[in-house]
Amino acid sequence: MAQHPVIGYFVWALLFGALFAWEGLALSHLSGSVPTLSATFRAIQRYPFGRWALFAVWLWFGWHLFVRGWHFLLRA
């Protein structure tokens, strides 16, 4: 496994932390104008290109999780 500087992992943690913090703020109703992630996805899915983009993201995620670097079970 390649060695990466800690700052790279730290930035990823910061990004995901910010994402969950933003979602938490939206769910807490402290700020009535912040849409939740699901509301944002619903808004995006109203439009064909938004649906395509979300499906592409889902496909990309599934491709990385289940397909890339994967071999048939008994294949050498």
CB 44 within 8 A of CB 36: no
**What 3-state DSSP class applies to 53?**
helix
Binding to another protein by residue 17, rule CB under 8 A?
Answer: no
C-alpha 74/C-alpha 71 separation (Å) is: 8
Whole-number minimum distance, CB 48 to another protein, in Å? 7
Q: Verify binding: residue 40, another protein, rule CB under 8 A.
A: yes
Binding site for another protein (CB under 8 A): 2, 4-5, 7-8, 11-12, 15, 19, 22, 35, 39-41, 43-44, 46-60, 62-63, 66-68
